[in-house]
A and B are shown apart, each in its own frame.
Chain A
Amino acid sequence: MSAYLIRRIGQAIVVVIGVMVLTFVLIHLVPGSAARATLGTRATAERIAVFNAANGLDRPLAAQFVTFVKQAVVGNFGTSYSLQQPVSTLIAQRLPRDALLLGLSTLLALAVALPMGIFQAVRRGRVADHAFTVVSFVLYSMPDFFFALLLIAVFSVQLHLLPSQAPQAESVGGILADPRALVLPVVTLTLVSVAGFSRYMRTSAINTLAQEYVQVARSKGLPERLVLRRHVLRNSLLPVVTVLGLQAPNIVAGAVIAESVFNYPGMGLLFYQAATSKDYPIMLGSTLVVGVATVLGSLFADIAYSFLDPRIRYVNA
């Protein structure tokens, strides 16, 4: 168990270093260099040299990398070209808003997908299973932005039921104070993840249903409802926990689209605006933050998995 944990944490550290190297390499891929991007294309060679010396860009790459790591560790990602604010401030403002939006929609997605997957597994091969399979395939295959705009067209433009723009409040409390405006962004992100989660859950539940302990539970006369809740649901959840950790990049990708459609002031929108205005410090800072969050997410998922499943502990003890 502890050997497994130590190795897993070691792997996570290696990957975080890898993400830093990747980000650093990307900084140096920027065409025309940081100096040109900041000073403009008509900057003279002398001014570029002064800028490079002032920012330490004339030193060897290895030395620059060390500085970059030192600054990144204390949360210094430089200053945004277009917004003239420290990138760390911009990210710190937006992270809680994303925690709210993504947390809420992921929880909702699980609340829908877990029962749906079990239901499909129980009814495997019947009409209801096929119907839900078709629904999840279509949801999975639909471009996120098209789905979001369809929701706006129906619920905002046609029916006048819900606002088409997400809450614009600064604080998380302010966002929560306007729940109607939160509905469409949350529904978009929820339905996009439901497709994936329910497929995993269905597979996992099919595997669980075939286990002997389920037959034992049934043959000792346990009502089917309890069999499903106590034995099938719990045991099928385990693989889904791992998948949840691996899903982080997909959830972020959905957030970029949903936040730009609904103008939700989160990391996704920040990143998208940075990409269109070539604001490299923001792009690199957010890439690093998201990358580290993903590594930590999958690390926690794996650790949770090994605690939830005693069989793993026995083998690795």
Chain B
Amino acid sequence: MSTLEPLAPPDPAPDPRSETVDASTAARGSGRLSVRAFVRNRRALVGLGIVAVIAAFCFVGPLLYRTDQVTVRLDLADLSPGSAYPLGTDASGYDVLGRLMAGGRSSLELGFAVAFTTSVIGTLYGAVAGYLGGLVDAVMMRVIDTFLAVPGIVLLLMMVSMFTPTLWGIVLLLSLLSWLGAARLVRGEVLTLRTREFVQAARMMGGTGGRIVLRHLVPNAAGVIIVSGTFTIADSILTLSALSFLGLGLPPPHADWGTMLSAGLNSLYDGYWWLVYPPAGILIVTVVAFNLIGDAVHDALDVRLQRR
């Protein structure tokens, strides 16, 4: 069975946010060049800057601006922004500015947690499939095709309707659904890497399969892993918000931007703009920022694109 199919249609599902469809010509072994291209890339710096500011807002903010996000105060519900409440209060009387911080924490934690587990599972799966090749690879890839054939939101809605969700339950579900893309990308990368001299050298010196995968293949595929991880953060935050909108998100005492936005949209026509636009704005800006970083890292790795 052939392992490389040069002119067959591209195997890994390309991501629309990425500049090029083919990452196989990435600048490996020129890490410093990539770093320089990354720094010169204003898109990446803007994205990183935004993420840093928002992370500080969510994690340091609550230390400076203390609010009660536990006690329901119906006597303080839906107050418009003023000196006491810079962004007003919501239907339960929670301070909206403080809730944006708390909600951002869980949105970001969820995004990073999913990106981390997805990267680990996807990398190992893709690297093993690509390294072993042959029948094992074919079987492993058909498993991925099967999961990709069923839309993630369909599986997600089904699981969430069967089991009551918790934050970590949703992290687990999202991870189970989003490692597929990472696995395909890493496999594609490993397929080209494993024919390289340094991998053959490692095998000559008696390196075991596990060692070659972990010490030689995975580190060299780090670029695509980072790119897909960054996009996964953006996608997970969006998917959680869609779940909240459909009423199948996390139960009430919990806060995240998607839940805040969906709840706020119920009062869109009552003039309570502060319940809609702040969460919408911060959610979109954060997702754009992660997409910008992913896009820029992708470019920085792609020498072919820089030459043009």
Contacts and interface: CB of A to CB of B under 8 A. Distances in A.
Contacts of B16: 140, 195-197, 199-200, 243
Nearest to B20: A203
A138 B6 contact: no
Nearest to A12: B145
Contact of B308 (A140, A145, A146, A210): A210
B6 A290 contact: no
Nearest to A245: B9
Given A252-B151, A257-B242, A290-B150, A206 B308 contact: yes
Nearest to A248: B151
B21 A294 contact: no
Contact of B280 (A146, A195, A283, A290): A146
Interface residues of B, number: 55
Interface string B136-157: 0000001101111111111101
B261 interface: yes
B234 A141 contact: yes
Given A141-B288, A242-B10, A294-B149, A146 B265 contact: yes
A76 interface: no
B147 A22 contact: yes
B110 to A, nearest CB: 15
A21 to B, nearest CB: 8
A153 B246 CA distance: 19
Interface in B11-65: 13-14, 16-21
A239 interface: yes
A17 to B, nearest CB: 9
A190 interface: no
A311 interface: yes
Contacts, number: 167
B142 A287 contact: no
A106 to B, nearest CB: 14
Interface string B234-269: 100010011001111000000000100110010011
B151 A137 contact: no
A291 B150 contact: yes
Interface in A102-139: 137-138
A223 interface: no
B18 A203 contact: yes
B9 A275 contact: no
Nearest to A23: B150
Contact of B245 (A243, A257, A290): A257
A83 B151 CA distance: 24
Interface in A262-306: 271-272, 275-276, 278, 283, 286-287, 290-292, 294-295, 301-302, 305-306
Nearest to A26: B158
Given A15-B146, A29-B162, A242-B10, A287 B246 contact: no
B262 to A, nearest CB: 7
Contacts of B152: 249, 253
A4 B8 contact: yes
Contact of B146 (A22, A140, A203, A311): A22
B150 A246 contact: no
A11 interface: yes
Nearest to A204: B21
A207 to B, nearest CB: 7
B11 to A, nearest CB: 10
A253 B153 CA distance: 6
B149 A143 contact: no
Nearest to A254: B153
B292 interface: yes
Interface string B270-305: 000000000010011001100110000000000001
Interface in A215-248: 239, 242-243, 246, 248
Nearest to A303: B9
Given A138-B284, A253-B151, A312-B8, A143 B291 contact: no
A263 B151 CA distance: 20
A127 to B, nearest CB: 14
B17 A146 contact: no
Among B145, B146, B154, B160, the one with the most A-chain Cβ atoms within 10 Å of its Cβ is: B154
A290 B154 contact: yes
Given A140-B16, A239-B10, A250 B142 contact: no
Interface of A: 4, 11, 14-15, 18-19, 21-22, 26, 29-31, 137-138, 140-146, 149, 153, 157, 195-197, 199-200, 203-204, 206-207, 210, 239, 242-243, 246, 248-250, 252-253, 256-257, 260, 271-272, 275-276, 278, 283, 286-287, 290-292, 294-295, 301-302, 305-306, 311-312, 315-316
20 contacts: A22-B147, A26-B158, A29-B162, A31-B162, A143-B284, A146-B265, A149-B268, A203-B20, A206-B305, A206-B308, A207-B20, A243-B14, A250-B151, A275-B246, A275-B248, A278-B162, A283-B154, A291-B149, A316-B7, A316-B8
Interface of B: 6-10, 13-14, 16-21, 142-143, 145-155, 157-158, 160-163, 234, 238, 241-242, 245-248, 258, 261-262, 265, 268-269, 280, 283-284, 287-288, 291-292, 305, 308
Given A29-B162, A146-B265, A276-B246, 10 more contacts: A18-B149, A31-B162, A140-B291, A141-B284, A200-B21, A206-B19, A239-B10, A256-B157, A287-B150, A294-B150
